Amino acid sequence: MSELYLTFAVFGAVAVGFVCVNLFIARLARPSAPNPDKLETYECGPLPVGEAWQQFNVHYYLFALLFVVFEVEAAFLYPWAVAYKQVGRYAVVEMLIFVAILAAGLGYAWRRKAIEWE
Amino acid sequence: MVIQNYSLGPIDLASIIPYVAMGTILGFILLIVPFVIWFERVVIALMQDRLGPNRVGPRGLLQTIADGVKLFFKEDLEPAAVDRSLYYMAPVLALIPALAAGAALPFASISLRMADGSVKSLPLVAGNVNIGILFILALSSLQVYGIVLAGWASNNKYSLLGGLRSSAQMISYELPMSLAILTGILMSGSLNLVDVVNSQAGSILDWNFFKLNPATGFFFPLGLIAGMIYLVAMVAETNRAPFDLPEAESELIAGFHTEYSSMKFAMFFMGEYASMLVVSGIATALWFGGWHAPFDFVLWNWIPGGIWFLAKLTFFIGVYVWLRATLPRLRYDALMNIGWKRLLPLSIVVLFAVATVDAFFFTKDTPAAISAPATPPSGTLTPMAAPGGGQ
Amino acid sequence: MISPSIFVFAPLASAALFTALMVVRSRNVIHAGYWLLPCLLAVAGLFGSLEAHFFVVVQILIYAGAILILILFALMLTRDVMDPKQRQTTKFAPLAVPLCIFVGLGGALMMARAPWPAIQAAAPGPAEQTKALGLGLIGDYALPFEVASLILLAALIGAICLAKAEKEPAAPEPVIDLRGEIELEESVSAGAADGH
């Protein structure tokens, strides 16, 4: 099994190496002539107003929370998926209850228009 | 097609197969991208009745390579207002998950005649893991950071909007995607992608996408629906048209990579195509029979499995291009509605339909990969030595 | 008595500790949030070194892939996200130092004295682990498992109420305005009808 993690590590290392080598070669090859105008943040021509780092719509947070809840549900479903055949119908009903409770949550979010983008 | 298991001293062909697979998939993903881009441009040109790239190399084949070389020589503008450390991290993070997910993707199988005369079928996969599909899912859930990081680090309002939109989009479509994958797992009965592919051997009727062979399993419209959910979610996950809102050029300039130029921009480009290849590969393995030929036919079975896999992969890249040439971009609220109000409930329903059909109507044998020891939960905690070592 | 696994454990553990320290030390909250990513991945690596393969997947999928996104969104929602000049400590900071030392030392002492059982058999393969977990969920631990969904539901409803509550007080006003306008319109149209 440890070879497996090694394989993933090799793939990750190749990705990092690939990016670094490319950026390094580009650094050697490319010209560099910065001036204050070039280094301005691009905003379709006019000078940028203020910073981009501001508060944003609370809606994104709501979606992230919904996502976490259902991702946890999915994580529970994986072990169930490989085990339910051994138990049979009982297991299906049991998981159906679990998912129905969460589906009720989704229904509530739907009714409160929480999954509606404004 | 059976190949003799050649051996050189202690090393034989069977033992180097994982390394061959690793080299092949890494080389393939990293080197094929220019040609995928060329393919996309040629096909789109065909669909729009224009010529497309035709200057550099035969049929313009070297056009993307020329573009890449050009990017090496481009000045790299790094705006003064960026958050430098995060700004440099983003392109790296965009490429790592896409490439690493390829490690668990089986793309061919090779039959070796061993020394004792028996024939052994070995899958070509860099890291053959029992729960390979879960590793792929976990790694692709990290895909979102490259983009959201780029959007944040650029300190550009358009980039930030693109990054945020993209992250909300990717997490919204990750759910139907993982539930659809789970449906495929239920139909094949294994978390191991090699077993999933082998459960679809035979003909096109055995593929999870159709699955209407009464002998091996009949899930007909369910597999089709789950497969379609996966395909839609896969396009959304890779931020491709019609789900390319993160870089909607008509409203967000270039979205999250507005402030990236030269090779850093090329790395984002690379990451996008690499993840396209990987998710298409998963679609092939999970729904379309992997390296198996569509019909059990002598001549077709002679074609190596890798070629079939490649053909199916090309088909999906073609679908990507076709969608891009055909469909207009979705509006953001429509995008979220489709994800949360259509695909998610539908994928839950399909998942339980498959489980119900399977549990109530079929009593299939449990497949080899998971049937091994019927361990009760307490049995996995292995016997312990007598406690009291400390005192 | 050094086992070779220390060469896996030590780098992973020190990476987790270092990145956790950076999470606390970063003055920029977004940087702090992003330092959590390598930290959570290092913990996933620790799970891997213990051959708890399903937990590696869950750690990456849930913590690094979902909860961290939630945390980052929450951080971006806060005001003054980029203000590194604010004080990072409260007046109780000096009190925390002896407390941390006490808890740390106590924990270390307990761990050193605990009779750790030694596992002899090899861990089961990843698919068997996953299956055993699934059997546990639908078998012995069915009730806690179902209750877990209620907790998730409560979290969901709570978040929706919080996020939606902001807009509720503002809602009645336009209704009153509208009613006034409707009455006005009705009276106008009624007047017009009279005059006709």
Per residue in A86-97, pLDDT (tens digit) is 777 788 888 888
| Binary contact (C163, A58; C-beta < 8 A) | yes
Q: Which residues sit opposite C119 in a β-bridge?
A: B384
Tokens of C103: 């808890």
What average pLDDT is seen over chain B?
A: 80
| Binary contact (B382, C123; C-beta < 8 A) | yes
Chain C residue numbers with beta carbons less than 8 Å from the beta carbon of A115 are none
Contact A16, B96 (CB under 8 A): yes
Mean pLDDT (whole number) for B52-60: 82
- Residue spans per domain, chain C: 1-80, 137-196
Among chain B residues, CA nearest to A70: B175
> What local confidence, expressed as pLDDT, does residue B233 receive?
92
Instruction: State the Cα–Cα distance between residues B341 and B364, nearest whole angstrom.
Output: 34
Position C8 pLDDT exceeds 70: yes
Position B335 pLDDT exceeds 90: no
Residue type, position C1, single letter: M
Nearest CB among A71, A102, A104 relative to C62 is that of: A71
Instruction: State the Cα–Cα distance between residues C85 and C103, nearest whole angstrom.
Output: 30
Question: Which of the given ranges, B11-15, B126-130, C9-13, C157-161, has the highest pLDDT on average?
Answer: C9-13
Mean pLDDT (whole number) for B22-45: 87
| Complex-level ipTM beyond the 0.90 threshold | no
Mean pLDDT (whole number) for B118-129: 77
Tokens of B60: 């313009």
Torsion angle of the four alpha carbons C110, C113, C119, C120, in this order, in degrees rounded to the nearest 10: 170
Right CATH for C1-80 from 3.30.110.60, 1.10.730.10, 1.10.490.10, 1.20.120.1200: 1.20.120.1200
Cα angle vertex B274, ends B271, B279, to 5°?
120
Per the model's pLDDT, the better-predicted residue between B388 and B24 turns out to be B24
Position B119 pLDDT exceeds 70: yes
Per the model's pLDDT, the better-predicted residue between A118 and B11 turns out to be B11
Reported as a single tens digit per residue, the pLDDT across B141-161 is: 888 888 888 888 887 778 888
Give the up-direction half-sphere exposure of residue A99: CA atoms within 13 A in the CB hemisphere. Answer: 23
- First CA to last CA across chain C, in angstroms? 106
Instruction: State the Cα–Cα distance between residues B25 and B13, nearest whole angstrom.
Output: 18
CA of B152: how far to CAs of A27, B92, B162, in Å? 24, 15, 9
Contact B181, B351 (CB under 8 A): no
Contact residues for C19 (Cβ-Cβ < 8 A; gap 6+) = C35, C36, C38, C39, C42
> What local confidence, expressed as pLDDT, does residue C43 receive?
92
Contact B129, B139 (CB under 8 A): no
Reported as a single tens digit per residue, the pLDDT across A27-64 is: 888 777 777 777 777 776 666 666 666 667 777 888 88
Q: Kindly state the DSSP code that residue A52 receives in the 8-state scheme.
A: S
Domains, chain A, ranges and CATH? 2-111 (1.20.58.1610)
Nearest CB among B89, B142, B391 relative to C115 is that of: B391
Mean pLDDT (whole number) for C60-88: 78
Note if the bond before B242 is cis, omega within 30 degrees: yes
* Other CB atoms within 10 Å distance of the CB of residue B321: 21
β-sheet with B119-124: strand ranges across: B2-4, B108-113, B119-124
| Binary contact (A33, B75; C-beta < 8 A) | yes
> What local confidence, expressed as pLDDT, does residue A20 receive?
87
Instruction: State the Cα–Cα distance between residues C191 and C182, nearest whole angstrom.
Output: 14
Instruction: State the Cα–Cα distance between residues C76 and B270, nearest whole angstrom.
Output: 28
Pairing of strands B108-113, B2-4: parallel
Position C101 pLDDT exceeds 90: yes
Suggest the residue from C60, C63, C145 to mutate for an interface test with chain B (most B CBs closer than 10 A): C60
**Nearest to B240, CA basis, from B151, B127, B327:** B327
- Angle at which helix B262-287 crosses helix B132-140, to 10 degrees, equals 150
| Binary contact (C131, A94; C-beta < 8 A) | no
Q: CA torsion sign, B262 to B321 to B310 to B63?
A: negative
Mean pLDDT (whole number) for B271-300: 84
For residues B62-91, one letter each, b for 16 or more C-beta atoms within 10 angstroms of the residue's C-beta and e for the rest, the string is bbbeebbeebbebebbbbebbbeebbbbbb
CA of B54: how far to CAs of B42, B90, B158, B323, B324, in Å? 9, 33, 34, 23, 21
Chain B contact for A69 (CB, 8 A cutoff) = no
Contact B362, C89 (CB under 8 A): no
Separation in Å, CA of C33 to nearest CA in chain B:
11
Residue pairs spanning A and B at CB distance below 8 A: 202
Reported as a single tens digit per residue, the pLDDT across C134-188 is: 888 888 888 888 888 888 888 888 888 877 765 554 444 444 444 444 454 555 5
> What local confidence, expressed as pLDDT, does residue C18 receive?
93
Position C44 pLDDT exceeds 70: yes
Q: Which residues sit opposite B112 in a β-bridge?
A: B3, B120
User: What is the phi/psi pair of residue B212, to 5°?
Assistant: -125, 35
Query: Which range (B4-13, B124-133, B143-152, C60-69) has the least confidence?
Result: B4-13
> What local confidence, expressed as pLDDT, does residue C178 receive?
46
Instruction: State the Cα–Cα distance between residues A32 and B29, nearest whole angstrom.
Output: 31
Among chain C residues, CA nearest to B382: C121
Mean pLDDT (whole number) for B81-104: 84
pLDDT band for position B249 (cuts 50, 70, 90): low
Residue tagged 């059909």 (tokens): B357
> What local confidence, expressed as pLDDT, does residue B248 receive?
67
pLDDT band for position C73 (cuts 50, 70, 90): confident
Among chain A residues, CA nearest to C164: A114
Reported as a single tens digit per residue, the pLDDT across B363-389 is: 544 443 344 444 444 433 333 333 433
Contact B151, B162 (CB under 8 A): yes
